Amino acid sequence: MNRSERGAVTAETALALPLLVAVTLAMVWMLTFGVAQMKATDAAREAARALARGESRADAVALAQRVAPGAEVSVSQLGDMVVVVVTGSVPSPGGLLDAVSGSTHGEATALREEVNDVR
């Protein structure tokens, strides 16, 4: 290594390290976002199934909120169909950048089942 190259490794590391940290944070946030999206979809599906089986609206909403804590649950009915929409928010990594925070959306529809009381 000659004299003109001294400190080059330190300078390159000083430039590359913040970029590596930023990429790592972005990947962690994307993973978190994906998990939150799956939870929202699963919560909507579970609530729609519960409503289709004849459970109460309050029980279905509570079930959805158990699957996706902190999410907003909306239930509507279209004839014999029940529609459940679950919306949640995903904060930015470490709360650093509000611009990259996002929201998830899960929706499920189910046909109400006929209850045959067999005794």
Percent of the chain with pLDDT over 70: 84
Does pLDDT of 105 surpass 80? yes
In the block, which residue shows the tokens 């330190």?
Answer: 10
Does pLDDT of 108 surpass 90? yes
In the block, which residue shows the tokens 């925070």?
Answer: 101
Q: By three-state DSSP, how is residue 22 classified?
A: helix
- End-to-end CA, the chain: 90
Check residue 2 and give its pLDDT: 62
Any residues with CB less than 8 A from the CB of 74 and at least 6 apart, and which?
A: 84, 85, 86, 87
C-alpha 36, offset from chain centre: 2
What would the pLDDT profile of 30-82 be if each residue is shown by its tens digit?
Answer: 898 899 999 999 999 999 999 999 999 999 999 999 999 999 999 999 889 99
Residue pair 36/60 in contact (Cβ under 8 Å)? The answer is no
4 vs 8: CA distance, rounded Å: 9
